[in-house]
Amino acid sequence: MIFGYFDESGEKGDGFFVVAGFVGRLEDWKNFLKLWRKELGGRPSLHLAEMRLSSAKAIKRHGDLLLRLGSVPSGANLRGFAGSVGTAPYAGKIKGTIAEIGLAGYSVALTAMIDAILESKLLPKRERIEFTFEDQVQFAVPRAALFRGFRQSEKYKTCHGKSRVGKDSAMEKSPLLEASDYLAYAILQQLMDPDSQKARITAPILEGSKPISHVEITKENVDRLIEHVYADYGEEIPMMDREKRAFILEEMKKSLKE
């Protein structure tokens, strides 16, 4: 069995969204925790959002720590994967329609990352993979719906007929998720502005984790997806107000229990 831990990072409003993380075997994750805690030193955990990485003193305060932590995942034999999408180019096209659910930045980036993992030549096709994410209520239903679709796909079945997609679950903040948070955040900063201080100070996780299997979804990819998925509706995708959105999500939740 292969285990993966993942997190997300995104711009506020319409912008880039990233889902990323690492996969490995149980013994690799046990080794990761030992190395990660060692490099954290006296810190109980890593919280990038609390570090004020754009401040003038950030490099002096946190640069060495982020440099050390950047090499830990590869040192534990973990492999990095990511999916990302820039929503700004197509946000206006789907705004207020039912496509806002299926083509939200999280859903598109997550789909890209899962596909990258399942298609990877670095992972045995005969083994199943368990996926664990940080517990985020707003992503729970779309994520569960996506995983159900992947499990039903014949493309991702083992030779014994079982889906390679094992259990998907969510957990509270944990050291197991911190490297994934670091990776997702670093990729987001590179997409937003590769010359920014935030991009430079978080670059060690990218350098230390090479090669990272990162699938970037383009506007052209999304346009083709819209044409394919919503072709039955013609040129006008059905509109969706707040009540209809809540109804659709509730129906999705019910269907997942069947």
pLDDT by residue, tens only, the chain of 258 residues? 999 999 999 988 789 999 999 999 999 999 999 999 999 987 889 988 888 898 989 999 899 999 999 999 999 999 999 999 999 888 888 888 877 777 889 999 999 999 999 999 989 888 899 999 999 988 988 899 899 889 988 888 887 788 999 999 999 999 999 999 999 999 999 999 999 999 999 999 999 999 999 999 988 888 887 777 666 666 677 787 777 777 777 777 666 665
What pLDDT, on the 0 to 100 scale, is given for residue 250?
Answer: 77
**Tokens representing 227?**
């044409």
Task: Please report where in the chains the tokens 């207020």 appear, as a residue.
Answer: 96
3-state helix, strand, coil in the chain (%, to 5): 55, 20, 30
What pLDDT, on the 0 to 100 scale, is given for residue 18?
Answer: 97
Domain tally for the chain? 1
Q: Which residues constitute the domain of residue 208?
A: 2-256
**This model's pTM is above 0.75:** yes
What pLDDT, on the 0 to 100 scale, is given for residue 186?
Answer: 96
Distance CA(113)–CA(108), nearest Å, equals 9
Cβ neighbourhood burial of 1 (10 Å; 0-12, 13-18, 19+):
exposed
Can you give the CATH number for the domain in which 231 is found?
A: 3.30.420.10
